[in-house]
Amino acid sequence: MDLVIIKYNAGNIQSVLYALERIGVNALVTDDYEKIQNADKVIFPGVGEASSAMRYLKEHKLDTVIKNLQQPVLGICLGMQLMCAYSEENDTTCLGIFDEHVKLFSPPTDRGIKVPQIGWNNIFNLKSPLFKGLPENSYCYFVHGYYAALGEHTIATADYVQPYSAALHRDNFYGAQFHPEKSAKVGEQLLKNFLSL
């Protein structure tokens, strides 16, 4: 199987590559349109800031490439947020694959809730083959200050400040707010599930 990880100006891309290697799958990290378009499956990872990432994607015409992909695509963390319609992070118009909006966590100041959320949180209301074999309330590793609100494309929910989208799905596009590549066995199962979609 031809698996491609999209290379752009965001961090954490190597970690995804290594996680795939651990489950015995090789992937190509590339920003070459043809290779992305012709891949069997595409992973769109990333840790970083939304507006500079969108600017980079547009400059390299990767925005159009990603939107028009027909094969299964998995966005991770910033990748998932960039697949949404809009992000409050520096007022950024994103790819619009999912209608959901990305907002900043704004906890009431007296509750001692930290932003960004860093650590393991449980995911529930799991509604996709992406979660095959994973029980409700599986724990995943999250690192994010912005979140996608719940919406019609939500396929998993997490709760931090309020319930929000831990994962999204529309047609061939999937997104995970957490990091499967860092979520121990749970993450490995999810990556395997994505590869067998």
Partner 1 sequence: MLCKRIIPCLDIKDGRTVKGTNFVNLRDAGDPVELGALYAQQGADELVFLDITATVEKRKTLRELVNRIAHHINIPFTVGGGISSVDDVSALLQNGADKISVNTAAFKNPQLIQELSKEFGSQCVVLAIDTRQEEDGEWYVYLNGGRTKTEARCFDWAKQGVELGAGEILLTSMNHDGTKQGFALDITRELATKLPVPVIASGGGGTMQHFVDVFEQAHADAALAASIFHFKEIAIPELKGYLQGRNIEIRPV
Straight-line distance from the first to the last Cα atom of the chain, in angstroms, rounded to the nearest whole number: 12
DSSP string, 46-84: -BS-HHHHHHHHHHTTHHHHHHT--S-EEEETHHHHHTS
Residues 70-129 touching partner 1, rule: CB under 8 A, are 112, 114-122
Active site residue 59: no
Catalytic residue among 144, 153, 169, 179: 179
Site membership for partner 1, residue 58 (CB under 8 A): no
Cα–Cα distance, 31 to 154 (Å, whole number): 28
Site membership for partner 1, residue 15 (CB under 8 A): yes
Active site residue 60: no
Cα–Cα distance, 74 to 166 (Å, whole number): 13
Catalytic residue among 136, 152, 181, 188: 181
Min separation Cβ 2 and partner 1, Å:
22
Active site residue 77: yes
Min separation Cβ 70 and partner 1, Å:
31
- Angstrom CA distances, 50 to 24, 70, 87, 100, stand at 31, 24, 7, 15
72 versus 187: smaller Cβ distance to partner 1: 187
- Angstrom CA distances, 17 to 42, 113, 125, 182, stand at 12, 32, 28, 11
> For partner 1, which stretch binds (CB under 8 A), given 26-34, 65-73, 134-142, 165-173?
134-142
44 versus 173: smaller Cβ distance to partner 1: 44
What is the gyration radius of the CA atoms in the chain, in angstroms?
A: 15
Please list the active-site residues: 77, 179, 181
**Site residues (CB under 8 A) for partner 1?**
11-12, 14-15, 18-19, 21-22, 47-49, 112, 114-122, 139, 141-145, 159-160, 179, 181-185, 187-188
